[in-house]
């Protein structure tokens, strides 16, 4: 079942990225025999349909894996982080170091090789910032709350990449980031919300509006465009 889950995860990302890449650079899908280039719409539609089917399989296998192997189940990820009990109105209750350790604990449950080295932190400006480059197509940046110095925003920037290993790492980073920031949310529920935002953002490619979900007291949002790739963010929800 773990193998099926991994395949479903890869297929979901692969087909979704095919749709996005097809809109940006349809020439990459030129027929070598006829020289014919598929239309942007047909490539986007094909990627959308196939990723939708893979997403359904991913949702099913995710539940089965958790039930059979204890891959999070209905429990939270309380071992990943210990959020400040009384953070500021916009802070997510974790210092940079605490978030870093919680992120590595979360991602280590998926693949230890994806753990991050120390984040680069800059507190010389009006707002403290930190960043980490996983690869040329996958980066993370965050800002620090002015009142308590804890993390108040995380943005993960994802660019299209055809390599399966990189696609898997992209989704794993999204899951680990949200699990680290939202330790009281059951893993299964968190995974469902992340995948919904990820998938719907690609469906609404180049839309002016972001896709949003409130998960606990945090808000997950994403927007995907041909110039920016996917910008997936996590902030403290104002609806609290």
For residue 218, being part of any structural domain is answered with yes
Q: What is the per-residue pLDDT for 54?
A: 55
Could you list the residue range(s) of the whole structural domain that residue 149 is in?
A: 96-236
Prediction pTM value: 0.68
Q: How many domains does one find in the chain?
A: 2
Per the prediction, the chain carries an average pLDDT of: 77
The pair phi, psi for residue 32, each rounded to 5°, is -65, -25
CB distance 190 to 37 below 8 Å: no
Q: What is the per-residue pLDDT for 125?
A: 85
For residue 85, being part of any structural domain is answered with no
Q: What is the per-residue pLDDT for 228?
A: 83
Residues 45 and 143 in one domain: no
Residue spans of the chain under pLDDT 70: 1-32, 37-87, 239-240
Q: What is the per-residue pLDDT for 202?
A: 84
In this structure, the dihedral spanned by the alpha carbons of residues 144, 149, 152 and 156, taken in order and rounded to 10 degrees, is 40
Residues 109 and 51 in one domain: no
For residue 35, being part of any structural domain is answered with yes
Residues 206 and 111 in one domain: yes
Taking the C-alpha atoms of residue 1 and residue 54, their distance in angstroms, rounded to an integer, is 15
Q: What is the per-residue pLDDT for 76?
A: 44
Residues 63 and 105 in one domain: no
Strand 129-135 to 120-122 pairing: antiparallel
Q: What is the per-residue pLDDT for 158?
A: 92
Residues 120 and 206 in one domain: yes
Residues 117 and 179 in one domain: yes
């Amino acid at each position: 079942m773990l193998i099926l889950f991994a395949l479903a995860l890869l297929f979901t990302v692969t087909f979704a990225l095919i749709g996005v890449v097809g809109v940006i650079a349809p020439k990459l899908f030129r027929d070598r025999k006829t020289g014919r280039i598929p239309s942007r719409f047909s490539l986007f539609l094909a990627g959308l349909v196939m990723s939708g089917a893979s997403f359904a399989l991913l949702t099913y296998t995710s539940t089965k894996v958790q039930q059979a192997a204890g891959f999070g189940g209905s429990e939270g990820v309380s071992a990943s982080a210990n959020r400040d009990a009384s953070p500021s109105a916009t802070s997510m209750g974790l210092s940079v170091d605490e978030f870093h350790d919680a992120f590595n604990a979360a991602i280590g449950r998926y693949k230890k090789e994806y753990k991050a080295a120390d984040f680069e932190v800059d507190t010389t400006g009006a707002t403290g910032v930190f960043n980490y480059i996983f690869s040329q197509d996958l980066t993370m940046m965050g800002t620090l709350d002015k009142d308590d110095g804890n993390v108040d925003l995380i943005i993960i920037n994802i660019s299209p990449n055809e390599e399966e290993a990189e696609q898997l790492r992209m989704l794993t980073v999204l899951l680990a980031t949200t699990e680290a920031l939202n330790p009281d949310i059951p893993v299964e529920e968190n995974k469902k919300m992340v995948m919904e935002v990820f998938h719907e953002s690609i469906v609404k490619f180049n839309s002016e509006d972001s896709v949003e979900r409130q998960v606990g007291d945090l808000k997950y949002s994403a927007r995907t465009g041909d110039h920016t790739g996917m910008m997936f963010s996590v902030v403290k929800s104002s609806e609290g």
